[in-house]
Chains A and B, each alone.
Chain A
Amino acid sequence: MKEEGKERLRSRSLAHLMPLIAPVHILILSVIVIPSIYVIWLSVTQSSFGKAPSFVGLENYIRVLTDPAFHRALWNTVGIVVVAVHLELAIGLLLALLFASGLPLRRYLLVAVLAPYAVSEVTAVVMWRFLFDPDAGPITQMLQSLHLPILDWSYEPTHAMILIAMLTIWLHLPFTFIILYAARLAIPLDLYEAARIDGATPLQAFRRVTLPLLGPAIVVALLFRYIFAFRIFSEVWLLTNGGPARTTEVVAVYLYQEAFSYNAFGTAAATAWIMVVVSLLLAVGYILLLGKQVNANAH
């Protein structure tokens, strides 16, 4: 019946549907797609405000890829993506299992886990800056009174990156947790029942039932978070401004500095396209997986 309906509608002209889908596509084309394509042109030209651009080929890309500041920014970004996203996934997974094991007041605890989702990057930076203020922050004070090392994030680039990673995990854990928890709840109870009857220990049940069935959700959460962590800007900009001496820059901050501080739109555009390509490569993985899931659902 459903297929028949679709068949009938398929013959209708596309023009008929245009008024419905046009607003979305006009917005996306004019704000995202055409500007992004224009960035390709910017990336192969040399220009700054008010000057006519001239074609320079791949020069901007070479300049970016050989710039030590870009290398630093890239490594910082990769560091955040690798460390923060995987830690976040591990914590999210543990939380999902904790919730699935049965907790009193689960509804309220779920809301507590979601709370950071509502917090803006700006306010989150205010919070964590205060807690870890090198002189007077409550957590710094606590660490000092326990004779533990403190985070001297305004001078030590590594410490700053640790604080940024924590901030990122804090802001995005709700998303990762929800994806994994929803997938965990979708696993049929009979499977655990069967595993128990077969004499499986809880650990074996986790390895043989939970983990394989959570696989797709884990990969989806990971890819999403790779893509979104790769574009990190506000947390870094608001916490350190990329300093001291450009040591804590990430790729998006590097891009911003090139464009809006140094007026080098060509290299900024080249950086932008490097970001797009990396994001799209990760996206290909996601879409292939999505296709596989759709097929699996259809069977």
Chain B
Amino acid sequence: MRIKRLIIGSGKAVAVAALLLWSLLPIAFIVMSSFKPGREIFAVPPHYIFTPTLDHFTTLWTRWGVFFDGLVNSTIITAGATALAVIASTAAGYAYSRNSSRFLDSSVLFLIVVRLIPPIVVTLPLFPIVNALQVNDTHVVLMVLYATFFVSLGTVLMRTFIDQIPRELDEAAQIDGAGRWTILRRVIVPLAAPGILAVAVFVVVFSWNEFLFAFIFTATKAKTAPLVISEMIGSIDGVDWGVLFAASTLQLAPVLLFVIFMNRYLVAGMTAGATKG
């Protein structure tokens, strides 16, 4: 019995070790290598002990200043897209949670279906339209695109979360003379905060990391950080890997910390999002 337990225990230990290697090794390699002196990056076997240097970050600053503009653009676009998606989804989620009609129910179905249309499809008509409206290469275009591809999931999630808030609270507020917008702001929003955070995690991660739309709809002024990194990969023969690692580390670190910090809401959102639509 003890031997059996020992075997199971060591089997689990091996599985956990494999899991950690698989999940974290690529991340650890990038972050570690961004602090390694240039010659040591490709050392065999890899050096785990080295004198950390900020050389790659200073080179990034002097040679690829555009990357830092990219970080600023990514921040602005992520903030805008998240605000837009969260506000629109919360309002709609409230309406869907508290009302029911055949029209509303079928429009939820419509929201679910829309979410499954591949984003690349809409680039074909939107590309000429965005150019004609002269809004190409602006923050607003990406904000609207990113928010739109998450409002359907956002609405369904918010409906699920708001369903859990007792109706009696709305009714009590109504009796006290509060209007719909006041109820939404004073009763629903504070109590649905976990749902709002779950929606926000999805939009933040997506907007911060997105490549396709940024690639098609921006050129110079609104270029996001992932797009600048992709250009650095493109010139890989000339670029030194250290600088690429420094940029990747700076792009990755904030969103990784955010996901770690918010993991509870991410898990809640993923579960509700897949089973409720």
Asked if A115 and B230 sit within 8 Å, CB to CB, the answer is no
Give the distance to chain B from A158, nearest Cβ to Cβ, in Å: 22
A-B interface, 9 closest residue pairs, ranked by CB to CB distance from nearest:
A120-B209, A231-B118, A20-B95, A118-B259, A23-B88, A127-B26, A122-B226, A24-B92, A31-B148
Tell me which of B19, B114, B127, B267 contacts A32 (CB under 8 A): B114
B191 within 8 A of A: no
> Is B116 a contact partner of A178 (Cβ separation < 8 A)?
no
- Choose one: A120, A127, A286; the contact of B226 (CB below 8 Å): A120
Count how many chain A residues have C-beta atoms less than 8 Å from C-beta atoms of the other chain.
93
Contact: A269 with B99, CB < 8 Å? no
Chain B: minimal CB distance from A214 (Å): 13
Instruction: Name B236-277 residues within 8 Å CB distance of A.
Output: 241, 244-245, 248, 251-252, 255-256, 258-260, 263, 266-267, 270-271, 274-275, 277
8 A Cβ contacts from A219-262 to B: 220-221, 224, 227, 230-231, 233-234, 238, 252, 255-256, 259-260
Q: How far is the CB of A94 from chain B (nearest CB, A)?
A: 8
Contact A130 B241 (CB under 8 A): yes
Using Cβ atoms and an 8 Å threshold, which residues of chain A touch B109? 287
Q: A113-B23, A179-B270 are in contact. Are A42 and B124 (CB under 8 A)?
A: yes
Contact with A along B22-53 (1 / 0, CB 8 A): 11101101100100000000101110000000
B120 touches A255 (CB 8 A): yes
Decide if A73 is an interface residue (CB 8 Å cutoff): no
Query: With a CB–CB cut-off of 8 A, which chain B residues contact A31?
Result: 122, 126, 144-145, 148
Q: Is the CB of A28 within 8 A of B111?
A: yes
Per the CB 8 Å criterion, the residue count for chain B at the interface is 95
Q: Which of A6, A112, A220, A252 contacts B20 (CB 8 A)?
A: A112
Chain A residues touching B, majority SS: helix
- B16–A170 touching, CB < 8 Å: no
Asked whether A20 and B116 contact (CB < 8 A) given A103-B12, A123-B248, the answer is no
- CB neighbours of A161 from chain B (8 A): none
In the complex, whether A117 has a CB less than 8 A from a CB of chain B is yes
What residues on B are CB-neighbors of A136 within 8 Å? 42
Q: A24-B151, A120-B226 are in contact. Are A130 and B30 (CB under 8 A)?
A: yes
Contact in complex: A287, B122 (CB < 8 Å): no
**Contact mask B142-160 → A, CB, 8 Å, 1/0?**
0011011101101100000
* Contacts beyond the supplied A24-B111, A103-B16: 20 A-B pairs with Cβ under 8 Å: A9-B99, A14-B103, A19-B91, A20-B95, A24-B88, A24-B152, A27-B144, A28-B111, A35-B125, A109-B20, A114-B259, A115-B27, A120-B251, A123-B209, A221-B274, A238-B233, A260-B216, A269-B124, A280-B113, A283-B113
Contacting A at CB under 8 A, from B2-30, are 12, 15-16, 19-20, 22-24, 26-27, 29-30
B197-211 interface code vs A (CB 8 A; 1 in, 0 out) = 000000001001111
Residues of B within 8 A of A165 (CB): none
A129 within 8 A of B: yes
Residues in chain B within 8 A of chain A (CB atoms) = 12, 15-16, 19-20, 22-24, 26-27, 29-30, 33, 42, 44-46, 87-89, 91-92, 94-96, 98-101, 103-104, 107, 109, 111-114, 116-129, 144-145, 147-149, 151-152, 154-155, 167, 171, 180, 184, 205, 208-212, 216, 226-227, 229-230, 233, 241, 244-245, 248, 251-252, 255-256, 258-260, 263, 266-267, 270-271, 274-275, 277
- Determine the residue in chain A with the shortest Cβ distance to B252: A123
User: When A and B form their complex, what is the total count of cross-chain residue pairs whose Cβ atoms lie within 8 Å?
Assistant: 264
Let me know if A33 and B124 touch, CB within 8 A: no
A268 touches B124 (CB 8 A): yes
Taking a contact as CB atoms under 8 Å apart, the answer to whether B212 and A272 are in contact is: no
Known: A23-B88, A35-B122, A234-B212. A14 touches B101 (CB 8 A): yes
Nearest-neighbour CB distance to chain A for B196, whole angstroms, equals: 15
- The answer to whether A21 touches B33 (Cβ under 8 A) is no
- Cα of A98 to Cα of B12 in the assembled complex, Å: 7
Residues of chain B within 8 A (CB-CB) of A280 are 113, 116-117
Given contacts A32-B114, A112-B24, contact A39 B230 (CB under 8 A): no
Cβ 8 A contact of B209, one of A35, A121, A138, A221:
A121
